[in-house]
């Protein structure tokens, strides 16, 4: 089976064509304000071996968001790392399909449309209703040997099931799904490497047949990461230390 990293399109001057983020003004609220953007870190599923939660960030209601548009359209599928949003059109077509991997749709509220890159709000089509998609975290993981993963510390201790480890990944060439761990879902979150949603060929052709916009499919062999440049490495290491202290 061929797999693809689900991503979005970038303009030539590096804007995301479509991007959905938390509603900016909500970050100014106090943390005990129910409208402060909140995430649960203890939402299952949990790893049967090391018992860590495998779905790292689960957004709690209310799901208040804003959309950024740098090309004059509202995408049917808008992604940001492990977050995936579907328009109502994409949701309806998905529910009529045989595809598997989206466990739940939760309606989001879009409070702001921010236009960039010369896009004019008045010329945009009406804003669709959007849904946050709960994507399966079903044990599918990556083949870090095939991907030639380079870890921040040599010989890391990696959980045999969820592939969790202490440290971060400094590089890989190609992001390959471990086929022995694939459970047949057409869309799923990859364990062992944060924020990567993978889809199979059937998902990709479903998107293309239905002319759904916004989804960019990057073949496994074409995704790579290289944080080996010395300056970049020290920056990331400092950041990482900040997180773990
Ligand atoms: Zn584990």
State pLDDT tens for residues 159-171. 999 999 888 888 8
The CA 43 to ligand 1 mean position distance, Å, reads: 15
**Which tokens hold the place of 54?**
């495998």
The CA 156 to ligand 1 mean position distance, Å, reads: 13
**Does the pLDDT value for residue 50 go beyond 50?**
yes
The CA 168 to ligand 1 mean position distance, Å, reads: 15
The CA 187 to ligand 1 mean position distance, Å, reads: 21
Q: What is the pLDDT of residue 230?
A: 61
What's the chain's average pLDDT?
A: 92
Looking only at the bridges linking them, the beta strands covering 109-115 and 64-69 are parallel
Q: What is the mean pLDDT of residues 180-206?
A: 96
The CA 203 to ligand 1 mean position distance, Å, reads: 28
Whether the CA torsion 32, 33, 36, 38 is positive or negative: it is positive
The CA 41 to ligand 1 mean position distance, Å, reads: 15
Taking the C-alpha atoms of residue 195 and residue 189, their distance in angstroms, rounded to an integer, is 8
Q: What is the pLDDT of residue 236?
A: 61
* Of 103-107, 124-128, 240-244, minimum mean pLDDT range: 240-244
The CA 137 to ligand 1 mean position distance, Å, reads: 13
The CA 159 to ligand 1 mean position distance, Å, reads: 5
Q: What is the mean pLDDT of residues 65-71?
A: 97
Structure confidence at residue 155 as a pLDDT band (50, 70, 90): confident
Q: What is the pLDDT of residue 98?
A: 98
Q: What is the mean pLDDT of residues 94-118?
A: 97
Decide if 3 contacts 200 (C-beta within 8 A): yes
Taking the C-alpha atoms of residue 88 and residue 72, their distance in angstroms, rounded to an integer, is 18
* 45 Rama sector, left if φ>0, alpha if ψ -120 to 50, beta otherwise: beta
Residue 168 C-alpha from the chain's centroid: 17
Taking the C-alpha atoms of residue 75 and residue 22, their distance in angstroms, rounded to an integer, is 17
The CA 192 to ligand 1 mean position distance, Å, reads: 9
**Which tokens hold the place of 1?**
């089976």
Question: What percentage of the chain has pLDDT greater than the value 70?
Answer: 93
**Does the pLDDT value for residue 238 go beyond 90?**
no
The CA 216 to ligand 1 mean position distance, Å, reads: 30
Structure confidence at residue 244 as a pLDDT band (50, 70, 90): very low
- Between the alpha carbon of residue 213 and those of residues 64, 77, 139, the distances in Å are 22, 6, 28
Q: What is the mean pLDDT of residues 3-22?
A: 95
Which residues hold their Cβ within 5 A of ligand 1, which is an ion?
Answer: 47, 49-50, 159, 161-162, 164
Q: What is the pLDDT of residue 152?
A: 86
């Amino acid at each position: 089976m061929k797999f693809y990293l689900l991503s979005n399109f970038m303009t030539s001057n590096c804007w995301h064509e479509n991007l959905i983020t938390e509603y900016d003004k909500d970050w100014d609220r106090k943390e005990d304000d129910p409208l402060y953007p909140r995430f649960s870190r203890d939402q299952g599923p949990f790893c049967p071996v090391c018992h860590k939660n495998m779905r790292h960030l689960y957004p709690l209601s209310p799901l208040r968001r804003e959309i950024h548009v740098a090309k004059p359209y509202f995408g049917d599928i808008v992604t940001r790392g492990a977050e995936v949003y579907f328009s109502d059109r994409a949701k309806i077509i998905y529910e009529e399909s045989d595809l598997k991997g989206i466990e739940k749709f939760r309606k989001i509220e879009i409070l702001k449309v921010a236009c960039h890159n010369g896009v004019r709000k008045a010329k945009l089509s009406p804003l669709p209703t959007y849904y946050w998609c709960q994507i399966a975290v079903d044990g599918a993981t990556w083949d870090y040997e095939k991907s030639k993963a380079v870890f921040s510390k040599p010989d890391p201790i990696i959980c045999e099931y969820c592939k969790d480890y202490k440290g971060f990944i400094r590089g890989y060439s190609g992001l390959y799904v471990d086929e022995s761990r694939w459970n047949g879902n057409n869309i799923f979150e990859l364990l062992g490497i944060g924020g990567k949603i993978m889809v199979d060929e059937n998902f990709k052709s479903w998107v293309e047949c239905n002319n759904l916009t916004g989804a960019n499919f990057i073949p496994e062999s074409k995704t790579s990461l290289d944080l080996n440049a010395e300056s970049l490495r020290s920056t990331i290491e400092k950041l990482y230390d900040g997180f773990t202290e």
